[in-house]
A and B are shown apart, each in its own frame.
Chain A
Amino acid sequence: MTTTKPTMIEFRDVHKYYGDYHALRGITASIRAGEFFSLLGPSGCGKTTLLRTIAGFEGISSGAVLLDGKDMSNVPANKRPTNMVFQSYAIFPHLSVEENVGFGLRRDSRSAADKAKAVAEALEMVGLKGYGKRAAHALSGGQRQRVALARALILKPKVLLLDEPLSALDKKMREQMQVELIRLQRQVGITFVLVTHDQEEALVMSDRIAVMFEGEIAQLADPETLYRRPHSRKVADFIGTMNFLPAKILSEAANVVEVEAPGFGRFALDAGQCMGAATGQGASVGFRPETLTILFEGQQPTDRESMATVEEVVYYGDMTYYDVRLDGTEAPVRISMRNVFGRPVLDIKTRTRVAWSPGALVLFR
């Protein structure tokens, strides 16, 4: 993987207070050069605040923010090697598209012709070739988004900061821009830091994601680890759907934990599947809906098998969601099954076998 890449942004125990309100509570993390990094979390968790400490719009109360190894505490926003794409795009409404894109070159010593060429290149890069003379305010949402991108990228910053850049677009446009942003990031190789509250968007686009709750980073990992091995129930709940069942820890050795859970019986998990420090109370096992499989007649489980009753069926065309109650449990769990042509969709109250594997479980202590 990309572990050898140097660090581009480093947060060292960053705290931020707004009056009495503790908005950032000791952020320590590093973002690597050339990485597509996302800050993900619910509204009000401090994502925007953290992003703005990189840009220099927000001073910090204590700690340090380092950019490319240099402490930024005395560097104002207009002198930092970062550029930002704002949520509202912040297109200058009284200027044309090319004046907007070329705005950052005003202080550049290049000749007018060179600047015009740079503007044209930037416009071409974001797919707005030939739009230079248009009035910026007359563009559609997606086009403004591209102007904002071109305007930020033309200065070749070390870091591009994006604050919920896609949230104002409709679903289709958003998906298209996601793909384009990924392509653009690969093409320019600049470090992208994206703020989003959309977990799907973060999973699709990022090399690594920091999940934030209430001013703290709850987990920082690549999308797959975040999805398969969330560090807490809170993270698991925020990213996708996860089922939880109460569990009892029978024994703990250095590398294996023996667990018993209703519906699953006894099984062993390795240390990597066990999250949190042992508290001796209130443990639970979690699993994603697609890790359980309903067994139809004649199918054999690859690993373990339990009995269950179907309680609810939601048909989605390509998928069917079953809420089933495993024998011996109180609450139903959700299973998602890809529909196969010719195979019936089960009815409510059907008794069925369910296949599962201890390797797909996570234990929260």
Chain B
Amino acid sequence: MKSPGLRAYAIGYLIFLYAPILLLPVFAFNDSKVIAFPLSGFTTGWFVEMWSDAQLFNALKNSMIISMSTSVLATTFGIFAARATTRFSFPAKGGLIGLIMLPLVLPEMIVAMSLLVVLLAVGVPLSIFTVILGHVLICTPFAVAILSSAFQSLDKSLEEAAYDLGETPLSTFRLIILPLVMPGIISSLLICFTISLDEFIISYFLAGADTVLSAYIYGQFRFPARVPAMLALGTILVLVSITLLTIAEYFRRRGIAKTGGKDTGGFL
């Protein structure tokens, strides 16, 4: 940060990044249907309106089911894949990993379209379950990436020591490996949850008659009168995300302190 130009650039960048998020609560409490300055007065009415929106709650419920199932499933697959690739060597390992990681760089549109075509051809009715299917597909690479680094940093002799002291491979996994990769598992659950909650294209394509939160919010923006209530919802979501991230970071730091490892940054 030596040059004043760079400093101005950095400040401008941060404003661009965070100012819109800060505006969310400002207009959520503003007593006007028009999203513009000057502000016209304080109200909690938009929260009340949002709260009494039955459709919104339905979309929220669907999204929660999708995100939670996705994060648990993707993380579970991630654990298996990370364990397999860090401990064992098998033929075509590199290619297999490549295939698992591919959705990371594949345009979501293509994933969504091809899934839609296949599901329709096979005759699977579209619902939140087909959304979960699509989300697991795109979240698993993230889970594998996060968990691989957690498994990789595990000293192999820890497992051997437990085995040497009479434990079975299964109890070794439960007593030694699982507790030590737990911070990675929590990170993975959280990231997959967030990705799934945010996701729009697959949710929009594969949900059929069911509505999910992202698609519902997008739909509501067509009606200017509904926008402030959506901002109220956004405000709550921001608070929930901050809380979740804080909890995750707390567990990660505690995990590091407990095992005496070096803090290598995590994702926060």
Contact = CB atoms under 8 A, between A and B. Distances in A.
B163 A88 contact: no
Contacts of A55: 160, 164
A90 B158 contact: yes
A313 B167 CA distance: 59
B157 A90 contact: yes
Contact of A77 (B163, B258, B261): B163
A79 B164 CA distance: 8
A168 B50 CA distance: 63
A172 interface: no
A82 B261 CA distance: 30
Contact of B168 (A78, A103, A155): A78
Interface string A58-85: 0000000000000000000111001110
Nearest to B155: A88
B180 A94 contact: yes
B259 A78 contact: no
Contacts of A177: none
Interface string B145-168: 000000000010110111111111
A220 B36 CA distance: 89
A6 interface: no
A138 interface: yes
Contacts of B161: 84, 86, 90, 92, 151
Contacts of B166: 78-79, 104, 106-107, 155
Contacts of A151: 161, 165
Interface string A85-103: 0111010111000000001
A78 B176 contact: no
A135 interface: yes
Contacts of B157: 86-88, 90
A104 B160 contact: no
Contacts of A90: 155, 157-158, 160-161
A86 B156 CA distance: 11
A104 B258 contact: no
Interface in B166-195: 166-168, 176, 179-180
Contacts of B163: 57, 77-78
A138 B261 CA distance: 10
A148 to B, nearest CB: 8
Contacts of B261: 93, 137
Contacts of A135: 258, 260
A79 B158 CA distance: 17
B258 A83 contact: no
Contacts of A86: 157, 160-161
Given A86-B157, A135-B258, A137-B260, A93 B180 contact: yes
B167 A106 contact: yes
Contact of B160 (A84, A94, A107, A138): A84
Interface string B226-267: 000000000000000000000000000000001111000000
Interface of B: 155, 157-158, 160-168, 176, 179-180, 258-261
3 closest A-B pairs by CB = A137-B260, A104-B165, A93-B259
14 contacts: A55-B164, A77-B163, A77-B164, A78-B165, A78-B168, A83-B165, A90-B157, A90-B161, A93-B180, A94-B259, A103-B165, A104-B166, A151-B165, A155-B165
Given A93-B261, A137-B261, 19 more contacts: A57-B164, A77-B163, A77-B164, A78-B165, A79-B166, A82-B164, A86-B157, A90-B158, A90-B160, A92-B158, A92-B161, A93-B258, A93-B259, A94-B179, A94-B259, A106-B167, A151-B161, A151-B165, A152-B164
